[in-house]
Amino acid sequence: MNLTEKEQRMLDGEEGYAVRKSMEILVALGDIYGAESLIKVGSVQVAGVSYHNLGDAGLEFLNELAKDGKVKVLTTLNPAGMDLENWRQLGISEEFAQKQNLVIDAFRKMGILISCTCTPYLIGNLPRYGEHIAWSESSAVTFANSVIGARTNREGGPSALAAAFVGKTPCYGLHLNENRAPDIHVQVNAKLAKLSDWGALGYSIGKKAENKIPYITGIKDTELDELKSFCASVVTYGSKPLFYMKGITPASESYSPPQETVTIEDKDLKEAYENINDEVTDIDFVCVGCPHCSIKEIAQIAELLKDKRIAANTELWVATSRTAKQLADKRGYTEIIELAGGKFACDTCMAVAPLKGRFKALATTSAKGCFYSRQNNMKTKMGGLDECIEAAVTGKWS
Ligand code: F3S
């Protein structure tokens, strides 16, 4: 890879340990993927924040970098392993909380915004069209590439952090025009009626696209919450973190549908639900907010929970950013949800919190949430917001 004189000096250690280490990571990545140079990034989103995933080795790595490392661009964090304020309420142990706080302290020292959300685009880290960025979390990466039209590869935690310290990332993959063209046409004929149908659609397209870039036709209208749910699902179940939706996402009009075509029918969505859902009736955990709930979704949850009470043996978590929760506080949604017995899980989510062994059966609106919860040995049910709230109130999936 060609380095400028300044980049070479950074690699030689002129700016200290964190920058040198970061340059080593970026140059190694660039060499592996055939990048010719580094390219400036407008923002960074760092995954690998939960102590549950990092462990002591990860914490030590971060502490080393935090000794002299300061980020050069706006950098936000993915969810941590707990609500940073109300972790006790979510049943997190003192020991875990102490370690998680040390992780957050290290990030804070680096100058990173302690935002802890997979929807950075809803809380102020909103790239512009065509901007190069280095983001890590798969749903956010897919949203940034596809819905916003920014450019990012799916970074790992260390490579995103390295980009933050250098302000640049190797220019390869989805940063380059030639790698952003769609290569499979997906004609959607299925009816999309509820939020979870977008997760089912993502499942079906992800499976059929098999690591290709889908060009999706047949969708006439959609909303932001549906798109964020779709982004999380399509990349979890198979496709690249970029798609085009004709007439809806930017640049979709500059391409024609590729020749290879697959269709998505009602039966495909039905099959997706069959694969995502397990045989289970008793629900002890309901989690909505994967990706993190928008204020609009929180308002819908509050409306559904008015004058209701969560079942005695069931927990309801509303996973969201702290910023969205603060809005919910102001608008009275928090009071309604908490009065019903629901809990806010700010800064965290069902995939990165230490939940193994705590719950047997999950109900959620999210196909991605089901994927990760199965890894935590939970049975899963996916459905619309009203079905999930009903499950929280009755403790049953009907
Ligand atoms: Fe976000 Fe966690 Fe889902 S990071 S997309 S809420 S698995």
For a pocket test of ligand 1, which of 198, 368, 370, 382 has the largest count of ligand atoms closer than 8 A to its C-beta? 368
Task: Write the residue with the smallest CA distance to atom 1 of ligand 1.
Answer: 291
Tokens of 356: 């193994």
Say how many Å lie between the CA of residue 234 and the centre of ligand 1. Answer: 13
Residue 50, ligand 1, Cβ within 6 A: no
H or E segment at 337? helix 333-339
**Ligand 1, atom 4, residue with closest C-alpha:** 118
Ligand 1 atom with the shortest distance to the CA of 289: 6
Helix (H), strand (E) at residue 18: helix 17-33
pLDDT at 398: 87
Pocket lining: 147 vs ligand 1, CB cutoff 6 Å: no
pLDDT at position 239, please? 76
Q: Whose CA is nearest to atom 5 of ligand 1?
A: 291
Longest dimension (CA), the chain: 65
- The dihedrals phi and psi of 78, each to the nearest 5 degrees, come to -80, 170
Rounded (5°) CA angle 340-344-348: 155
Report the DSSP beta bridge partners of residue 215: 185, 244
The whole-model pTM stands at 0.97
3-state secondary structure of 264: strand
Please measure the distance between the N-terminal and C-terminal CA atoms of the chain and give it in whole angstroms. 57
Buried b (16+ CB within 10 A) or exposed e, 13-46: eebeebbbbbbebbbebbeeeebeebbebbbbbb
Q: How far is CA 56 from the centre of its chain?
A: 24
Contact between residue 48 and residue 62 where contact means Cβ atoms under 8 Å apart:
no
Write out residues in the chain with pLDDT < 50, as ranges: none
- DSSP code of residue 256: P
Give the tokens for residue 351. 């995939």
Tell me the per-residue pLDDT of 113-160, one tens digit each, with 9 for 90 and over: 999 999 999 999 999 999 999 999 999 999 999 999 999 999 999 999
* Angstrom distance (rounded) from CA 321 to CA 323: 5
Q: Does ligand 1 come within 6 angstroms of the Cβ of 319?
A: yes
